[in-house]
Structure 1
Amino acid sequence: MAGIPVCVQCGTTANPFRCKVVGPTLGFLAFAVVAIVEWPVGAFVYLFKHRKGRRIMAHPAAVVYPSVTSTIPI
């Protein structure tokens, strides 16, 4: 039985409860959606331009997940 992925980040100072659930979970879902599109594109580009392909494949983890996670404080 598959469930909804829930990510929990404890020890943060973004809110008084020191735990985040919504931000990391939405960040993971955004990461997965973007990765489905960008990883195949990055793999194709990697065949011709190695650095550019690596940058495209790293974009979901380096940019999308942190920006979505830090935007939502709960």
Structure 2
Amino acid sequence: MTGGIGCVQCGTRSNPCRCKVVGPTLGVLAFAVAAIVEWPVGAVVYLFRHTKGRRIMGHPSTVVYPKVSNSIPI
């Protein structure tokens, strides 16, 4: 769930409170920064190599957000 201040992920078992706020919020911020850089690069690469361009454009959502969000347990 995304709110005005941050993101909240409830139902997780990574901490005793069963809710995460810091990890998902930083994950969204890292996703945005990576997307600003990688989406234009992926679009240019897509013109010549379709599969590689798609993989570059999907990198923020498949790698960056999950790694950042899961690395912070609160």
Separation in 1, partners of 2:16, 2:41: 41
TM-score, structure 2 normalization: 0.93
Unaligned 5+ segments in structure 2 are: none
> What's the Cα RMSD here?
1.3
Which consecutive unaligned segments of at least 5 residues does structure 1 have? none
1:31 is matched with 31
Extract structure 1 runs of 4+ deviating beyond 4 A: none
> Whole-Å Cα distance in 2 between the matches of residues 45 and 5 of structure 1?
35
| Aligned-partner Cα distance in 1 for 2:42–2:5 | 25
Query: What residue number does 1:59 align with?
Result: 59
Identity %: 75
User: CA, structure 1 residues 60+66, in 2 after alignment: closer, same or farther (shift >3 Å)?
Assistant: same
Deviations 1:38-65 (A, max 9, x none): 0000000000000000000000000000
Q: CA deviation at 1:5?
A: 4.5
